[in-house]
Structure 1
């Protein structure tokens, strides 16, 4: 079964329903637990996870699901090399801070590559959807989807680089020194990648830990908008090895003529 506009719309509906469940909890007091890796877990993470799992099971395209909230149940991709990759609530720390910069991420992976991606930020009512061959689109509020495209960096303009809201880190600062004139654009969750996809930023160097489910959906948005998501060696970020859920460091790039991987040598 090929990826269709109908399937993309169905997944977008699922992400928005999960967003509604998250916002119901966001509007009241909620419990916060701690996972084994010391990261926070809220009622909203669990509510969104269960809703997404139930709804994906009803889709005509059936594939195993790798969700951040239930990695133990995932046995690998199906015979077609496909699986759903889900982060029910990306940016739990942002959710707890109540700054609105958290998302629902749902991607379809095929042979290690994201071929469909939905990123929905329920507190902002902003969504990004993309699929191979269909393009990448953004919605704000109840407006119709608008096609998005990465920006072409102009040589006489400073680089717009997505960075951490709280601290940049020594590795990023060293990179920016080599890059030259720049300005930092701050954002939380997978929205960082989407800023590059829609041309609001030129690049997002991620020099810290992330997991597969943090990036899969937004990577599809970036790629279908004409950008790229590559490791520091220049190879595309891959989702083929699900036994290792941590991503290597990576770069999210729009259109430019700078050899970014070379900046790390």
Structure 2
């Protein structure tokens, strides 16, 4: 697993460097078939990640956002596979906010068992493997510094939530009211999982469509930090969802990311 995480870190940091080059110069924005935005930063970052994963782990299929959008979808079978979102939070990136991320995760038996979330504009990254989660800084020279373990905090009497900046919903507001949550921070991208994992927040409810590459890396970090991700009715949240009757391959259902193992009912 060490070689895997080292590859994740190398790939994510190299991709983040390419993203920041575009960020500083100003991106050219196009629309995909689903009308979501894409920039040359997404494409450059994905190419870097795919090249390194293919060199180091050629036997493991990679499901990557821009490749899927272009119709290149590997058969994952029943073995392990990678999920890659080269630039999660493209809207934040376009609007020059700093909470966009690079996401890479390994899925085994439907669960994210290792991952990295790197926020290049913030100079911070999170990793997970072997049931342990870490946070570290990435310097201006793209070196790793100050790696520290992170864990979810014990749930306080009054919970703090994180929610999507771009995709809030009436269902989210109803969930917060039902659970007596009065403090809610809006953050873009998969950083929401990471804030729960490091104990800054306690719950991340998501009522709205996401794809598996959006969530897998952050989910891996939250689980490794002692948290849990479930469907809204408390069932396990799984990956590798293909041939779905109600949605496209790799599309997620609504979910709740919990920071504490205590009282994780979403009722």
TM-score by length of 1: 0.91
Which residue, 64, 67, 71 being the options, matches 1:67? Answer: 64
Question: CA 1:181–1:58 in 2, change beyond 3 Å: closer, same or farther?
Answer: closer
Q: What is the CA deviation profile of residues 6-44 of structure 1, one whole-angstrom value per residue up to 9, with x for unaligned ones?
A: 221121111000000101111103210001111001010
- The answer (yes or no) to whether the contact 1:76–1:83 under 8 Å persists in 2 is no
Runs of 4+ in 1 over 4 A off after TM superposition: none
CA spacing shift, 1:164–1:216, aligned 2, 3 Å:
closer
Moved more, 237-246 or 121-130: 237-246
1:199 alignment counterpart:
199
The gaps in structure 1 that reach 5 residues or longer are: none
Q: Could you tell me the TM-score, scaled by structure 2's length?
A: 0.90
Match of 2:211 in 1: 211
Shift of the 254–35 alpha-carbon distance from structure 1 to 2, 3 Å rule, reads same
Q: Which 5+ residue runs of structure 2 have no aligned equivalent?
A: 140-144, 244-248
Match of 1:253 in 2: 258
Q: Contact (CA 8 Å) 1:90, 1:189: kept in 2 or not? A: yes
Residue 108 of structure 1 corresponds to 106
Alpha-carbon RMSD:
1.6
Name the residue aligned to 1:92. 90
| Count of aligned residue pairs for this structure pair | 255
Partner of 2:150: 148
Shift of the alpha carbon at 1:167? 6.8
Q: Is the 8 A contact 1:102 1:188 kept in 2?
A: yes
C-alpha deviation, 1:78, in angstroms? 5.1
Check whether the contact 2:233–2:265 (CA below 8 A) recurs between aligned residues.
no
Asked if structure 2 preserves the Cα contact closer than 8 Å seen for 1:63 and 1:78, the reply is: no
* Secondary structure at the counterpart of residue 256 of structure 2: strand
